[in-house]
Amino acid sequence: MFFLTKTYLKNHVKYLLFLMAISFPLIIFLFLTNPGVIIFGYFIENPIYQKFPVWAVVIFVFIIFSLASFIMFFVINLFLTSLRKRSDRQSKRLQGLFLRLIISYLYPVEQSIDEEYKTIARIKKFLYNGFSKKELLISITKVAENINTDFSYQFKNLVLKLKLDGIVKSMLYSANLSDKVLAMHIIYYLDLGNVGYLKRIMKYSESNNFALRTESYITLIRLMKDESQLVEFIGKKYNLSMLDINVIVNAILNNPMLKIDFIKLLSSDKTRKILIGLLMAQYKYRDNSRSIILILNQLDNENLMVKRLAWDAYLSLVPEKEGFDLIREHYHELDHNVKLMIIKHFDFYNNKPEIDFLDEIILSEPASIKIEAMKKMFKLNMKTFIKYVEIEDPVMVSVCSEVIDININ
């Protein structure tokens, strides 16, 4: 409770300072329009009380406030610039030092407890304030991101022995976005999935800030070991955008230890869960034949995005011949965008049924689909393609010219 109260007050100091700055001219005005003020039993007299009209007092207050604001802005700007330069120099020096010490800790010259304690003691000498501790955590994330070997146990051991878990918690609750993101990186790399952290990160997953929401998704998915927990979490409280969905899918794909009940996602009545299930079936569980039937059920989904992804997933999972038969059967019932996606991405072969199908499309579909179909025909059957060049139609002439230019250039 004390930690949360302290963090809350720290995060709201800037709001307090802002209120003080706003109230400053009001306090001066009230003082100048009254005979005086009593502070701690002492009466402080106003020497100019009733000597000037109210409008003059207002102008006087405005001048004082403007002058004070200018001086404060100038002083604070100089102070912050100096502080930033000093901070950047310290950051480079400390990160360079910590990177060398962390590498020594992970790859010691001699494997022994004494050698480990010596390295930890050397690191501890440079942890003299919160800034240096934060730089060590940044260094740990840099090493973790650039080394393929899993050193999460060693990193966790290092953080616990240096008693840095407190600063990780304070950064997670910080008002600063970069601190929150760094804390979530550390929590993932060190597998610090305690209940307090997870509850806070779950709260961030509902944030309107995309960067914060994205990092929270990635961290939660990487920490989750229970597939049912993840399926329940996805889209529970937030209507995921396609960008959110891609972030979630990438995080799942980058966590090989995480097993997803994608069949449950595909069977869901929630559109966003179906989309993730389709992407999982296409990229993570390609060898699972159970998904084909469920994907087939989504080919006629009313949602255009679901329909497009379902066709894309189905055609990438089934043999080419089966895929073509299904395309030919349903093609004329499909939406323009789905047709365009299919023609663009499906690999047609130079046989009579497929050539006849492409020929029909080229002669009947709008220009955008004609172009994609004609690109395929140009590579499959030049004899058929030549007959389009001879058609005296402005659209066909334009499409043929574009396809020829693309292939020649």
In a domain, 8, yes or no: no
Q: What is the pLDDT of residue 1?
A: 45
- How far apart (Å, rounded) are the C-alpha atoms in residues 102 and 71? 45
Tell me: do 237 and 284 sit in the same domain.
yes
Say what the pLDDT of residue 8 is: 55
Q: Is this structure's pTM higher than 0.75?
A: no
Using 50, 70 and 90 to split pLDDT, how confident is the model at 259?
low
Q: Does 270 reside within a domain? A: yes
Domain boundary among 284, 318, 352: 318
pLDDT at residue 300, as a whole number: 78
| Cα atoms found within 13 Å of the Cα of residue 6, Cβ hemisphere only | 8
Residue 248 lies in a domain: yes
| For range 257-275, the mean pLDDT | 73
Q: Is the pLDDT of residue 7 over 70?
A: no
Q: Is residue 321's pLDDT more than 70?
A: no
| Backbone torsion region of residue 246, taken as left when φ is above 0, otherwise alpha when ψ lies between -120 and 50, otherwise beta | alpha
| 403 found inside a domain | yes
Quick: pLDDT tens for 52-109.
676 777 777 777 777 877 887 788 788 878 878 887 888 888 888 888 888 888 888 7
| 389 falls within a domain | yes
Residues 351 and 304 in one domain: no
User: What is the rounded distance in angstroms from the CA atom of residue 362 to the CA atom of residue 385?
Assistant: 10
Tell me the C-alpha distance between 12 and 8, whole Å. 6
Calpha distance 8→326 (Å, rounded): 59
Give the structural domain span for 277.
224-318
Domain-terminating residue out of 264, 283, 318: 318
The CA–CA distances, whole Å, from 314 to 149, 169, 361 equal 36, 45, 21
* Domain annotation covers residue 185: no
Task: State residue 26 phi and psi, 5-degree precision.
Answer: -65, -40
Task: Say yes or no: 359 and 407 in one domain.
Answer: yes
Q: Two tokens at 168?
A: 């990780």
Q: Which of 298, 320, 317 shows the shortest CA–CA distance to 309?
A: 298
Residue 177 domain flag = no
Sort strands 42-45 and 36-39 into parallel, antiparallel or unpaired.
antiparallel
Alpha helices, DSSP H, located in 225-303: 227-233, 242-253, 262-266, 271-283, 290-298
Same domain, yes or no: 311 and 232: yes
Specify the pLDDT at position 339: 86
In this structure, is residue 363 part of a structural domain? yes
- Quick check: 200 pLDDT over 70? yes
Q: Spell out the residues 6+ positions from residue 272 whose beta carbon is closer than 8 angstroms to its own.
A: 234, 235, 239, 240, 245
Assess whether 358 and 307 both reside in one domain.
Answer: no
* Total count of domains within the chain: 2
